[in-house]
Chains A and B, each alone.
Chain A
Amino acid sequence: DIVMTQSPDSLAVSLGERATINCKSSQSVLYSSNNKNYLAWYQQKPGQPPKLLIYWASTRESGVPDRFSGSGSGTDFTLTISSLQAEDVAVYYCQQYYSTPLIFTFGPGTKVDIK
């Protein structure tokens, strides 16, 4: 199975400042035939189900503010919140959906708070 890791486990950022979360997969999730990275980011606020933010590593889901951006390729990926807002306090998870046996593992999550 593909193992996903994230860093840091948690971070506290001042309002308006940048937050950066890293995600690493144990093997490449880049499919060479279409040059797509099978990597998504989700946001989960307390008491709510997760919400899809980013897919194909860098495509923003409809309605997601443009302060959220995804980057990276192969095994190393980053979620950036360019200017942290109070409503961005949440846990953020990366997930690979590359695996052919359809075992789509999540990273352990990164908790984002306000400093």
Chain B
Amino acid sequence: EVQLVQSGAEVKKPGESLKISCKGSGYSFTSYWIGWVRQMPGKGLEWMGIIYPGDSDTRYSPSFQGQVTISADKSISTAYLQWSSLKASDTAMYYCARLSSTSCYNCPLQHWGQGTLVTVSS
């Protein structure tokens, strides 16, 4: 069974750094692209970016380029989303999701993590 298990909720102060994780299991982690999606409180889904763990090829939405870093450690089947300096406006639920087909980047998001709630408040 394909599973994406995300790290737990975080409460941080503005200016702090943060790295959240998404651990894949039940499939070949290096063979499928993983995307990250933001959902601000009461709002819709926003595409942040995507990574191919096999070679760490990473693409960002222009809205998030320079604001976050997406990475992966294939030795432990884990993808990451990190911030160097959080803002209150980063408060949101963050989802990772695996695309549907091997090595396919123009494919839908088939398997989703449970989400990580990030709260940034002074």
CA distance A30 to B61 in the complex (A): 21
Dominant secondary structure at the A interface: loop
Interface string of B50-70 (1 = CB under 8 A from A): 100000000101100000000
Give min CB distance, B48 to chain A, whole Å.
10
- B108 near A95: Cβ-Cβ < 8 Å: yes
With a CB–CB cut-off of 8 A, which chain B residues contact A108? 44
- B110 near A98: Cβ-Cβ < 8 Å: no
* Residue in A38, A98, A101, A106 whose beta carbon sits within 8 Å of that of B44 in the complex: A106
CA distance A54 to B35 in the complex (A): 18
We find that the number of chain B residues with CB closer than 8 angstroms to chain A is 23
We find that the number of chain A residues with CB closer than 8 angstroms to chain B is 25
* Residue in B44, B62, B110 whose beta carbon sits within 8 Å of that of A52 in the complex: B110
**B24 close to A (CB within 8 Å):** no
CA distance A90 to B45 in the complex (A): 14
**B92 close to A (CB within 8 Å):** no
Inter-chain residue pair count (beta carbon < 8 A): 63
**A1 close to B (CB within 8 Å):** yes
Binds A, one of B8-16, B76-84, B112-120: B112-120
- A104 near B35: Cβ-Cβ < 8 Å: yes
Give min CB distance, B45 to chain A, whole Å.
4
- B61 near A61: Cβ-Cβ < 8 Å: no
- B108 near A55: Cβ-Cβ < 8 Å: yes
CA distance A95 to B95 in the complex (A): 15
